[in-house]
Amino acid sequence: MGLQNKSDEELRQDKMDHLKEQIYSLIYGLAIGDALGVPVEFNERDSYHITKMEGYGTYNQPPGTWSDDTSLTLALVEHLSEKSDLFGLMDKFVAYRQGYLTPFGTCFDIGIATNQAIERYLSGVSPEECGGRGERDNGNGALMRIAPLAFVLKDRSDFTHNCGKIEKYTQVTHAHPRSLVASIIYVQILIDLLFNKSLEETIEDLQPLLEDYFRSNSEYWKEYQDQFRELFDKDFYQKQREEIMSTGYVVDSLKASLWCLGTTETFEGAVLKAVNLGNDTDTIGAITGSFAGALYKLEGIPDKWIQQLVNRELIDEKCQKLIECLDQ
């Protein structure tokens, strides 16, 4: 049936189905990458080899268990669904430490910078001032949770507005310009991938837009030039595995995740490559999983891994609330 022959209700249903597919693809992708990496977090590269959903290991959790990457992502999903303010979001981060939005009602992992931001909030600091601003405050704790912003920004054509919104949600935990630039690159790439572009098309189309925006802020431009410029060179994806760092440093995490996506051809290949890099396996797995979910869509994600996610009902519930909110 052609679009011109569809009723308004049928067109609305098509739009909702497409949105649902996008949201589940990205969130499942992130949660799967997270869960694959949880049992081997902090392990040295090549001291193990992950090929399937495993358990126990670092945190002694059963297979399919996800960590703070997914929990804090779900906190943002819930916040966006409720259309609450940043105080509401920070309250959810506080509740996470008590087990909220976790697989088993227990928080077993949280990043240092995120924990410090929560402590500042509890001491009375306003949310937009909670993020660390020092050179050492550039962990990947904002990058790992900010993916859902892509859904509320993808239909807006105002690039500057979108970047400002990404900055706002990053700086509640990470306020150094390096982390802000990383988040902007990450979410803008996700948006383009959700529009069915290839990674190559995305990189080519985004580069001039990002560079125009970063030039307007001397700190951003310096960080982009010094830390992230190579992501937009084809040679970056020719790098050898030993040249890719897989630490919790925001620059390393973004580069490793994009390299895993750009040097593989399937969802499974990308996330397994990511978690087998070692060190910060759950977060690099989660970021790679979000990229790969957006690129390969739900049909490209192994169903066995979706079914193995612990407390998937909670993930589904939060995703459905966001779908209903955005469909209004």
Annotated binding-site residue numbers for Mg(2+): 67-69, 280, 282-283
Name the strand (E) or helix (H) holding 213: helix 199-215
Bridge partners of residue 249, in order along the sequence: 139
Residue for token pair 């990229």: 291
Q: Which residues are annotated as a binding site?
A: 67-69, 280, 282-283
Residue for token pair 């979000």: 290
Neighbours of 17 (CB within 10 A): 11
**Cβ distance 24 to 323 under 8 Å?**
no
Cα gap 274→268, rounded to integer Å: 10
Give which of 223, 227, 181, 226 is closest to 206, Cα–Cα.
181
**Cβ distance 112 to 139 under 8 Å?**
yes
Integer CA distances (angstroms), 189 to 112, 201, 215, 235, in order: 26, 10, 19, 18
Residue 56, classed as helix, strand or coil, is strand
* Tally of CA atoms within 13 A in the half-sphere of 154 that contains its CB: 20
**Cβ distance 30 to 143 under 8 Å?**
no
Integer CA distances (angstroms), 89 to 78, 174, 234, 285, in order: 9, 15, 38, 24
Cα gap 154→312, rounded to integer Å: 26
